[in-house]
Amino acid sequence: MACLLAGMVLAARKFCPFWPAMSFMEEILFFLSGLIAGIRLPDLDLLTPGISHRSAVTHSCLPALLFWVTGFAPIAGGLALGTAFHLSSDLQPKAWTGGALIKFPLLGSIGMLSPIWLIANVIGCLAIFMEVVSGEPIDARQMIVAICIVGGGWYFLQEEKHPLLPLMTLGFSTLLVHAVRGGTLSVKLVWQYFA
C-alpha cells in the first residue's frame, strides 16, 4: 500500500499535466506512505530469510535514518513515526523470552536489554520525526498532526488490546525529545510546536 501510494505520487509528478497545481500535497502523501510502511516495516524480518524475528535491524530507527540522510525527509518522517508506533507496541509481550527479545545479526539475543533497545529506538524515531516536521510550513504541520492522530488512533484501537503502555511510551518519549531540542516539558508547548 505504501509503495503504491509513493509510486502514484512519482508517476503523477512525471505524467500528470495538472500536478504542479496539486504538488503541495506531495510531501503529505510521501509522509503518509512512510507512516503506512513504518507501522509494518519492523515485522519485515518475518519474511526475510536468515533474519530472526525482532531483528535489531528492522526494530530500530535505522530504516528511517537511512531515508532521512539520503534526502527523502517526508518519507523518513512518516517511517519514523510508524516505526515508533510499532516499537512502542512491542514493549508489552506476554513475557520477555524467545521471540520477544531483540536479536542482532551474528550476535544473537540481547536478552533483558530488549526493552531498553526498544525505548531508545522509539526516542530515536520521534527525534527524526520532529526534525523532519520542524522544517515543514505550518499548514503542512497541521495536516501531519491530523494524519498522526487518525493513524495512531486506528493503529492503537485496531491492533492493540491494551494501548495504555504504548501510548504512555510515545507521550513521554515525545516530551523527552522536545525537551532535548530546547523546549520544556509542557504539553501546551508541544501542541504549539505543531500549530
Q: Each residue of 26-37: pLDDT tens digit?
A: 888 888 899 989
In a domain, 81, yes or no: yes
Spatial distance between the Cα atoms of 109 and 94, rounded to a whole number of angstroms: 17
In a domain, 129, yes or no: yes
Task: For residue 67, give its domain range.
Answer: 31-194
Query: What is the identity of the amino acid at 162?
Result: H
DSSP string, 12-77: HHHH-TTHHHHGGGHHHHHHHHHHHHHHHGGGGGGTSTT--TTBTTTSSSHHHHHHHHTT-HHHHH
Give the pTM.
Answer: 0.82
Residue 108: phi and psi, rounded to 5, are 90, -160
What pLDDT is recorded for position 65?
Answer: 95
**135 and 85 Cβ atoms separated by less than 8 Å:** no
In a domain, 143, yes or no: yes
pLDDT bin (cut points 50, 70, 90) of residue 191 is low
pLDDT bin (cut points 50, 70, 90) of residue 102 is very high
Number of domains observed in the structure of the chain: 1
In a domain, 19, yes or no: no
In a domain, 190, yes or no: yes
Query: What is the percent of the chain where pLDDT is above 90?
Result: 35
In a domain, 164, yes or no: yes
In a domain, 16, yes or no: no
In a domain, 59, yes or no: yes
| Residue given cell 528511517 in the structure block | 64
**45 and 58 Cβ atoms separated by less than 8 Å:** yes
Other C-beta atoms lying within 10 Å of the C-beta of residue 182: 6
Task: Say yes or no to pLDDT of 180 above 50.
Answer: yes
Q: What is the pLDDT of residues 111-138, one digit of tens each?
A: 999 999 999 999 999 999 988 888 877 7
